[in-house]
Chain A
């Protein structure tokens, strides 16, 4: 991000951040990033962006919604396939 290699590395940035690059290229970018404080800060904050989103937005489906939906789905199902034999 601070010299001529920047555009080349930029194409691989997400793979690098997500640990999906082969070890050779990854080590090369590690060395590059290690020499640049701003790049290090940028890389760390981009990784934290995903981590914070994963940690901070836990979403649970309320049980009341599941129960209400099951009844609604059953009615739609019976309208399509008919009621099950008693």
Chain B
């Protein structure tokens, strides 16, 4: 059955059609919420409220977007309710994450952890790596976390990310890059410590 048919049936009151529609998306909404909030409990709450709101608003859905995008937009608003009070510092300007300018002879940018990562999985336990990534994500200021997660973990095109976060494509691209540089910086700093420990032991 096509999405259009399922939506029509759901809007006419067919619960099974609604369940089939949401079944396809609930895993990805839960994952999105878990990454954005950093908490399984909050992710469950976001998923629940998203689906309840979808029931309340099902008759207003007009197929201007796909059903999945519509659900994700509701989920993003629900997740924001949870982290709206989080205080985080925005990532630094892009230039401050860049490596030393070798050819100009200028001094290295201070604080840029720059070393060959090799294969991190060979040096760091999988669980530790997952913890490093979770911590890096939750350290990002929410607007940057949203941009990074939607683009790289939900794997949405930039245009769709821009629509979801309500920014221009140019501003979204810049936000995604700053988020990626900040994530790299955070992970590099943690790996440096882990690699150092491994060398000592």
Contact = CB atoms under 8 A, between A and B. Distances in A.
A75 to B, nearest CB: 10
A65 to B, nearest CB: 6
Interface residues of A, number: 42
Interface string A10-53: 10011001000000000000000000111101101110111011
Contact of B114 (A38, A74, A82): A38
Contacts of A52: 120, 129, 133, 187
A74 B99 contact: no
By secondary structure, the A interface counts as: helix
Given A41-B115, A53-B152, A57-B153, A65 B99 contact: no
Contacts, number: 121
Given A53-B133, A56-B130, A66-B26, A41 B116 contact: yes
Interface residues of B, number: 49
Nearest to A7: B95
A65 B44 contact: yes
B51 A73 contact: yes
Nearest to A38: B99
B19 A73 contact: yes
B104 interface: yes
Contacts of A1: 98-99, 101
A77 B130 contact: no
A1 B181 CA distance: 14
Interface of A: 1-3, 6, 10, 13-14, 17, 36-39, 41-42, 44-46, 48-50, 52-54, 56-57, 59-61, 65-66, 69-70, 72-74, 76-78, 80-82, 84
